[in-house]
């Protein structure tokens, strides 16, 4: 049975699955509706996504203003530093972030509710990230906040002298003070 661990922002939950290993490899349950519901994650998932990225790729910080998506994120190969930022002005954690290491070794997952921005940095040579989403992708509502916004002050584990690989879209993201947020 999975463990559900609250983070500094209580709505962000680390899911630590029970992993059964033997000579053949391992087995784990990554989602079970009844157990997730008991842990307070009642959202329905409608879409699964998979990205593969090279070392030092930084994706994010992404969110949607329409069709807001909750995400259940896990890494099937490699390691990432996964970040979620609370964009709800009504939350006592508005503008705060949580960073979690997710890997194929620890097998942890991160539940990110709707109305959070999300991004990650690849720490291994390559990482394959899969996530379930609670709503469909809507390009008209897609928004990006700069990964290096000084007000957010995210402590990305980037070694001195290393530059993250960032898309043009992510490099052109809004600063946090000017980003569209939620009530």
Catalytic residue, from 31, 50, 62, 67: name it. 62
Where are the alpha helices (H) located in the chain, listed in sequence order? 33-38, 168-171
Nearest to 157 by CA among 94, 83, 70: 83
20 assigned to some structural domain: no
Tokens of 159: 């070694």
Confidence at 1, pLDDT banded by 50, 70, 90: confident
In tens, the pLDDT along 118-161 reads 999 999 999 999 999 999 999 999 999 999 999 999 999 999 99
Catalytic residue, from 50, 118, 131, 136: name it. 131
67 assigned to some structural domain: yes
31 is catalytic: no
Q: Under 8 Å CB-to-CB from 151, ≥6 apart: which residues?
A: 95, 175, 176, 177
| End-to-end alpha carbon distance in the chain | 35
131 is catalytic: yes
1 assigned to some structural domain: no
Provide the residue range defining the domain that includes 120.
44-178
The pTM score is 0.96
In tens, the pLDDT along 71-99 reads 999 999 999 999 999 999 999 999 999 99
């Amino acid at each position: 049975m999975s463990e559900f661990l609250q983070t500094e922002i209580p709505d962000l939950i680390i899911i630590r699955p029970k992993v059964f290993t033997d000579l053949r490899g391992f087995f784990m349950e990554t989602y079970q509706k009844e157990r997730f519901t008991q842990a307070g994650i009642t959202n329905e998932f409608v879409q699964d996504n998979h990205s593969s990225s090279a070392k030092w790729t930084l994706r994010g910080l992404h969110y949607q203003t329409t069709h807001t998506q909750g995400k259940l994120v896990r890494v099937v190969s490699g390691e990432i530093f996964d970040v979620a930022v609370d964009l709800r002005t009504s939350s006592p954690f508005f503008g705060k972030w949580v960073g979690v290491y997710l890997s194929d070794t620890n097998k942890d997952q991160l539940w990110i509710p709707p109305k959070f921005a999300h991004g990650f940095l690849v720490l291994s040579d390559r990482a394959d990230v899969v996530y379930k989403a609670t709503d469909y992708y809507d390009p008209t509502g897609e928004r990006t906040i700069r990964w290096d916004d000084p007000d957010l002050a995210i402590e990305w584990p980037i070694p001195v002298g290393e530059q993250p690989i960032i898309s043009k879209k992510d490099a052109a993201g809004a600063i946090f003070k000017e980003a569209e947020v939620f009530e």
